[in-house]
Amino acid sequence: MSEEFDDPWADAPTRNSRQVEDVYELNDESDVETLMRQPMKAASAIDSATIDWLQEDAFERSRQQRLHSIHGVQGLLAQLFDTWRIWFITVMTGVGVGVIGAWLDVLVRWLSDLREGRCEYGIFYNQVACCSGLDPGEDCTQWFSWSKWFGIEAIFVQSLLQASIYNILAIIFSSSAAVLVVVYAPFAFHTGIPEIKAILSGYVFDEFLGPWILLIKSLGLALAVSSGLSLGKEGPLVHVSCCMALFIARLFRNHRPNETQKRRILAAAAAAGISVAFGSPLGGVLFGLEELEHFANDSDIIWRAFVTSVIAAVSLQYIDPFGTSKLVLFQVTNGDETWRAFELVPWFFLSVIGGVLGSLLIKLNVAAAVYRHRSILRDYPVLEVIGATAITGCISYLVVFLRVQTSELVANLFLECDPAKGDYHGLCNPTASVENVFLLILTALVKIGLTAWTFGMMIPAGIFLPTIAIGACIGRAVGLMVQGLHRSYPALWIFSACPPDPSVRCVSPGFYAVIGASAMLGGVTRMTISLVVIMFELTGALSHVLPIMISVMVAKWVGDAFGKEGIYPSWIALRNYPWIPSNEYRDGGETASSILVPFKNLVTLEAEGLTIPQLKQLLKSHDYHGYPVVTREKELIGYVTRASIKTIICQCNPLSIIFCFPLNASVPAAYSSQDSERVYGFVRRNEGPSNNSTNLDQYLEEAAIQLKREVPLELVVNTFQKMNIRYIFFTRHGRLEGLVTKTDIVRLLRSHIPNAGDLEREKSMYQSR
Amino acid sequence: MSEEFDDPWADAPTRNSRQVEDVYELNDESDVETLMRQPMKAASAIDSATIDWLQEDAFERSRQQRLHSIHGVQGLLAQLFDTWRIWFITVMTGVGVGVIGAWLDVLVRWLSDLREGRCEYGIFYNQVACCSGLDPGEDCTQWFSWSKWFGIEAIFVQSLLQASIYNILAIIFSSSAAVLVVVYAPFAFHTGIPEIKAILSGYVFDEFLGPWILLIKSLGLALAVSSGLSLGKEGPLVHVSCCMALFIARLFRNHRPNETQKRRILAAAAAAGISVAFGSPLGGVLFGLEELEHFANDSDIIWRAFVTSVIAAVSLQYIDPFGTSKLVLFQVTNGDETWRAFELVPWFFLSVIGGVLGSLLIKLNVAAAVYRHRSILRDYPVLEVIGATAITGCISYLVVFLRVQTSELVANLFLECDPAKGDYHGLCNPTASVENVFLLILTALVKIGLTAWTFGMMIPAGIFLPTIAIGACIGRAVGLMVQGLHRSYPALWIFSACPPDPSVRCVSPGFYAVIGASAMLGGVTRMTISLVVIMFELTGALSHVLPIMISVMVAKWVGDAFGKEGIYPSWIALRNYPWIPSNEYRDGGETASSILVPFKNLVTLEAEGLTIPQLKQLLKSHDYHGYPVVTREKELIGYVTRASIKTIICQCNPLSIIFCFPLNASVPAAYSSQDSERVYGFVRRNEGPSNNSTNLDQYLEEAAIQLKREVPLELVVNTFQKMNIRYIFFTRHGRLEGLVTKTDIVRLLRSHIPNAGDLEREKSMYQSR
């Protein structure tokens, strides 16, 4: 592309849009050390900034106008390029996410199998690839367990060796993941969804989505999942997808997307991440709608998310890592069977359990995170991971359902027993029902504890799959109990809807596992409609969509009774990200007066007669994102950002013209070295500039919403939620009475959450303005 | 409930919220006649009003506070009742919609069968009920065609009698529907979705949702569908559901929902309508999200829509009108078969056709509506319906695929041929492929013409099913062509992905019909994600969700190239409802100045010293919804509505206290008959009331957003879209410079649509303010 299209504003929004109210400066050496240890705290310290959507729109508008002002064929091409760039990014993101998803599947499969044995053909084959091409029933002689490979005969030594390699490899995998994360990409830890939520709502946190994060998180994720820790790869895939999207968008050097476009691309990428994680393209779009909220207002974003999700799913299906050429991951076999009304009772029971245990898991997880943060563990993240892996490995090796890969466990819990297909670790043995119920409940309880601890360690970790597994165990257990009851007392009146022939299956424990998983996920994430769609795209149980819906419904109700926040908002509150939940807010009769910062506490600029040293002093002494401009009579003139003031100062230094020019293309043409003391003023446009000052009205922000201080608090919150702005002025008869910023609203909405901000640094910088 | 809970504000919002800018008064007798003939025009004349969401929120807030101020057990009960009332309405709406849906299915089945014959047991049996309990293959001897019933032997007389009864009954059905609609409930005509869209976005149009409409529309719908006209019952079910919801809500006499609550209930009901219409609970919710837009901002509404949809679907499944105990209406048999990459080419072709024909159908339909409105047909709606039925009947009797019920046709077009199940009117005869292709394309073309005319006549009519049928015909035709090609040249390189055995089916024409239907619906409605969900919930073809998505995608792109508006926004524009589309709006550099009504053209109230006669004169001479209040120096004090002015006037007449008291409970306590000339004033609160006037600040609207006139137009549109407000003030240094109302925005966004407002009365009242 010719230089003509180069966009001087391309980077400006980011630079202009730091909200300095949230920035805590690094004071000394020890802070830098803390920074290295605690990446997320560092994040909020380094880069706490939210964009102002109105301002972003203004940038976009001026860019568009510049684009349309180019004449001739070149102009047409530039416009065409501009339109197709975003679609190119959309399509490429979809393909990229599909490829990464498939690659992760293959890698995880191989690493997991490696813990058990190796293939005769070579170490890089997984068990399925090694044993492919066999007739059904034929034994696979090419796959060797480690004890067989080393030719060990004694059964005790066999078991010991097998268990040792199993656990040692697990520790190697997880510690590699932890080292990778701690050393190279601290932001790659955890699920990433809380941060994506905050970013989509306007938080500027570009370091979170760098290309290194993409690489380390994908690799670390595969290692962490293979290590057998109680974590999943579904949530982090959303983070990986977003990194991928931004990586592709950055290929356009001269045409980087602005902050608004970036968020649209990210929203689509997040949807694609879920689409690939669960093989659920619609679920991905709905997840974006419900959980990421940001794009609920814009059908254009929904549409783009839809396209990205489709393409990601098509790519995954095309690559076909499991050789099934199907998107449905955990196929439920009896999709065609109908359910009976009496089953609603155990399902209701399951849903209540899901809601309760989901809340419990959230609370345990938050407590674990806070404890880790305050204890000595904070200083030894890698050791903590190694310890957790060792403990997980030891416990898991004892219980058969804990030992297997979580995804394999879930797949089998969802399946109905079919004598033709064999038994899965005795799960289908009708004589061992009691033992199975005990084992399943034990598995669920252990997994709750392990997951609560694991989700938050310094490795990439998702909470979806462990939660599904916990729910599936409990569901299957309840299903087995009901089935046992039916087998023992087929004549009971509650079973009157069952077919009279007792050999025909009436109760399907596999579907109870699906219900349990839905309820548990509902309790943890508080998702509703997207969860239902994901669950039935995951299992293919279209005819059972109604009970799934009911279970999610009940689980959410029960969970909400123990605390309104799901796992992601809880973590956002812990981290204190500037994120406003979209839930309806009801005040108790308060008005805006109760939270506004009154005029006397505001740092304002006087509209008439400013000198450069005054401006410099202001920037030095007050570290805010911007300043209201008022006349001597307190009349509001407008709002000027810190960045704009810097530009004004810059103009007066002839040497710096070269450096500061790109910041604003419309600086006045004439300069003189006497300007260093030049008098500036923001004056009423209709009254013309006064003699001794230059009019600076062009530096005022265009879109400043004014309200009266008597408006209900509810309306103020609502305006922030819907308009995505950063501040509202409160005026009376034109005179500024006060200001409310996004930070005030965030603090207001977070006031009821315990532990809010606990994982952030102390707010020594928080003082009254 | 005790009188204590009686809500004096219950009706106030509606009364207060008429936006008089849009009201065209009835001038003379002839207008009243026009009114009777043209209900929709009358609608916008009688009841053109939009609610102000901020004001509604204020009402709700004061109601909540009053509720919380009740002490003791009674207060607790009142709050509990308040919470559960809305859930009761939600659940009852779901059940009600399910029952209505099932009842309609049964009625339509019976009436349709009646056109062909009758049952031996009695005239109230439909054919399926009459012939139930037979073994497969056994002939049904209880069902008699009319010719057999009357014992006619001659074949020619048989055919003649059969055809006559078939068409005469059709005319009786359709004309009954038309008479019912024209005489009893003119608002029951058409689909109702455009009006629901407008209502959900804030349009006040309560007459559209009355209990009579509920009855007449359900009955008329059954009659219209059975008459064989080219229309469906799916869209109108949304209208019926909304009527049902409002009917249930109105059972709470003392606790009627306010306008905001009402819209939440309606949004959930609309979702339930689609849920029942297509057996697609998720599709219903997504339809609400995408097409009705209103509730995209509020996860609470999505959640409630979800619950209503589930319950409606459960009710329908429980009643089970078709005896299949399944929600999937048009089961696709080969859901498990995979598709081949080469098929994307014909599917892409189908999608393009869908987009083109969809746009064509919209344009034809709009042209037909405008023609009808301007021609003499406008005066004879019943005759028009009779004529259309006769023509449809005659044409349909000639072509076999037109003659059958549309839903039956679609079900069979979606089915794959299965020798075991028999042939459907020769559709599966491999030797008659060419004839079938010709017949299917002919059917599609005739149906386009008939549908374009029918959708808009004075009967309840939906466009979903005819559109699906048109698309399915074309899709099946293309499928047959591709299948024919494969049969003739199985060795062609494009078929290399097919199984080598030519007897194994490679091309599934039934699925081509699904793709065609999706594309056609995409072209007509421009829905995306909700359409995909509806299509795959409708067909159960979960594994084919990706091609459906792609086809909808392409159809929308192609359709958008011919005009951005789908069928519903087109009708909204025709009717000129106050509805702001949620699409992104980009200005060409204009600012708010370009559309604002400047101060000099505004009718304002002076803040200081108003007398009652002055106020009365104002109300008489200017018919606006409200008036800005300014000081003599043009300083903005606030906004006062017409209703509030009426209250002020009312206070001064001691006799009318009884009547106007409920309008505002906080009127000053002291009155005297000398007050008739009393001086009022809106004065600055912080300066105290001046001596000779009473402070009226309490009558000012709380929430008035102020912007600067230099803000980009885009931002103004965006604020209206997101905040759902009715006006924005433009001030500079506290002085009012102008006003923009919702009407201005609607007019701006509709300026590019041809025929906009053509179906509305002339706007003689539109003058500059």
Q: What's the whole-number mean pLDDT along residues B249-268?
A: 79
Amino acid at B570: S
Average pLDDT, chain A: 77
Is the Cα torsion angle B567, B569, B570, B575 positive or negative in sign?
Answer: positive
Tell me what pLDDT residue B718 has.
81
In the numeric block, the tokens 């049996």 are attached to: B125
* CB within 8 Å: B715 and A702: yes
In the prediction, which pLDDT does B256 show?
A: 67
For residue B164, which phi and psi values (nearest 5 degrees)?
Answer: -65, -50
Task: For residue B314, list chain A residues with Cβ-Cβ distance below 8 A.
Answer: 546
- Judged by average pLDDT, the poorest of B30-44, B414-428, B647-661, B717-731 is B30-44
Checking if the pLDDT of A118 tops 70, the result is: yes
What pLDDT sits at residue A519?
Answer: 94
Residue A707 with chain B: CB contacts under 8 Å: 703-706
Mean residue pLDDT of chain B comes to: 77
Per-residue pLDDT at A767 exceeds 80: no
Identify which has the larger pLDDT, B396 or A499.
B396
Answer for the pair B471, B191: CB distance below 8 angstroms, yes or no: no
Contacts of B313 in chain A (CB under 8 A): 546
Q: What is the DSSP letter of B164?
A: H
Question: What letter would DSSP give residue A640?
Answer: E
Q: What is the 3-state secondary structure (H, E, C) of B205-243?
A: CHHHHCHHHHHHHHHHHHHHHHCCCCCECHHHHHHHHHH
**Residue type at B50?**
T
Pick from B299, B310, B702: CB nearest A546: B310
- Phi and psi angles of residue B375, each rounded to the nearest 5 degrees, phi first: -95, -175
Give B60→chain A minimum CA distance, Å: 10
Q: Which stretch of A115-119, A326-330, B265-269 has the lowest confidence by average pLDDT?
A: A326-330
Q: What is the pLDDT of residue B506?
A: 80
Chain B residue numbers with beta carbons less than 8 Å from the beta carbon of A65 are 589
Res A8: pLDDT: 30
Query: Closest to A635 (Cβ–Cβ): which among B314, B684, B734?
Result: B734
For residue B704, the SS3 value is coil
Interchain CB distance below 8 Å, B290 and A299:
yes
Residue-level pLDDT at A136: 65
pLDDT at A404 (0 to 100): 82
B542 with A540: Cβ contact below 8 A: yes
Which of chain B's residues have a Cβ under 8 Å away from the Cβ of A542? 328, 537, 540, 542
Taking Cα atoms as reference points, which of A127, A172, A121 lies closest to residue A145?
A: A127
- Give the mean model confidence (pLDDT) for residues A540-562: 82
pLDDT for the residue numbered B763: 35
Tokens of A486: 């039916």
Of B307, B528, B714, the CB nearest to A306: B528
Please tell me which of A751-765, B174-188, B585-599 the model is most confident about, judged by mean pLDDT. B174-188
- Least CB–CB distance from B714: residue in A61, A293, A338: A61
CA distances from A433 to A402, A430, A436, B39 (A): 18, 6, 5, 68
**pLDDT band with cut points at 50, 70 and 90 for residue B711:** confident
B448: pLDDT confidence band, cut at 50, 70 and 90? very high
- Tell me, rounded to whole angstroms, the distance of Cα A169 from its chain centroid: 29
The answer to whether the Cβ–Cβ distance between A57 and B704 falls below 8 Å is: no
A275, A100 Cβ separation under 8 angstroms: no
Instruction: Give A546 or A465, the one with higher predicted confidence.
Output: A465
Chain B residues near residue A320 by CB distance under 8 angstroms: none
Q: Is this model's pTM higher than 0.90 or not?
A: no
Which residue did the predictor score with more confidence, B566 or A673?
B566
The rounded distance, in Å, linking the Cα atoms of B520 and B567 is 12
Looking at residue A254, its pLDDT comes to 64
The minimal CB distance from A545 to the residues B281, B549, B710 is found for: B281
- Per CB-CB distance under 8 Å, the chain A contacts of B731 are 706, 734
| CB within 8 Å: A338 and B328 | no
pLDDT above 50 for A667? no
Q: Using CB atoms within 10 A of its CB, is residue A447 exposed (0-12), middle (13-18) or buried (19+)?
A: buried
Q: Do A297 and B297 touch (CB under 8 A)?
A: yes
Q: How far is B35 from chain A (nearest CA, A)?
A: 37
User: What type of residue sits at position A296?
Assistant: A
CA atoms within 13 A on the CB side of B495: 19
Q: Is A437's pLDDT higher than 60?
A: yes
CA distances from B454 to B449, B460, B462 (A): 9, 10, 9
- Residue B352: is its pLDDT beyond 50? yes
Question: Does the distance separating the beta carbons of B61 and A300 come in below 8 Å?
Answer: no
Instruction: Looking at the complex, report in whole angstroms how far the Cα of residue A759 sits from the nearest Cα belonging to chain B.
Output: 28
Across the interface, whether the CB atoms of B281 and A715 are under 8 A apart is answered no
CB-CB under 8 Å, B707 with A546? no
Q: Which residues pair with B477 in a beta bridge?
A: none
Label residue B346 by pLDDT band (50, 70, 90).
very high
Q: Distance from B152 to chain A by nearest Cα, in Å? A: 46
CB contact under 8 A, A317 and B546: yes
Structural domains in chain B?
A: 3-78 (no CATH), 89-128+143-319 (1.10.3080.10), 341-563 (1.10.3080.10), 592-749 (3.10.580.10)
Least confident of B233-247, B402-416, B471-485: B402-416
Q: Do B550 and A299 touch (CB under 8 A)?
A: no
Q: What is the pLDDT of residue A683?
A: 60
Report DSSP state, residue B625: S
Contact state of B707 with A708 under an 8 Å Cβ cutoff = no
Give the H or E element holding residue A682.
none
Residue B657 distance to chain A (closest CA, Å): 28
pLDDT > 80? residue B500: no
The structure tokens 């009740």 sit at B70
pLDDT at A472 over 70: yes
- Report pLDDT for B764: 30
Q: Which two tokens stand for residue B272?
A: 């339930």
Determine the Cα–Cα distance for residues A552 and A559; give it in Å rounded to an integer.
10
> Is it the case that residue B46 has pLDDT exceeding 60?
no
Q: What per-residue confidence (pLDDT) applies to A297?
A: 57
Interface size, chain A vs chain B, as Cβ–Cβ contacts under 8 Å: 197
Confidence of residue A669 (pLDDT cuts 50, 70, 90): very low
Do B203 and B577 form a contact (C-beta atoms < 8 A)? Answer: yes
Q: Is the pLDDT of residue B585 over 90?
A: no
Candidates A59, A201, A275, A282, partner chain B, best to mutate (most B CBs within 10 A): A282
Does B603 have pLDDT greater than 90?
A: no
pLDDT at A580: 81
Q: Which residues of A touch B67 (CB under 8 A)?
A: none
Residue found under tokens 């399925």: A128
pLDDT tens digits for range A387-429: 999 999 888 888 888 888 888 888 888 888 777 767 777 777 7
**Inter-residue contact B212 to B184 (CB < 8 Å):** yes
Q: Measured between beta carbons, which residues in chain A are less than 8 angstroms from residue B719?
A: 705, 723
ipTM of the complex: 0.71
CB count, 10 Å around CB of A666? 8
CB contact under 8 A, A733 and B734: yes
Q: Where are the alpha helices (DSSP H) in A18-71?
A: 29-37, 39-47, 53-68
pLDDT score of A671 more than 60? no
* Chain B residue whose CA is closest to A57: B715
The stretch B569-590 carries a mean pLDDT of 80
**B412 vs B406: CA distance, rounded Å:** 10
The pLDDT value recorded for residue A294 is 58
Tally Cβ neighbours within 10 Å of residue A709. Answer: 17
CA distance B543 to B332: 11
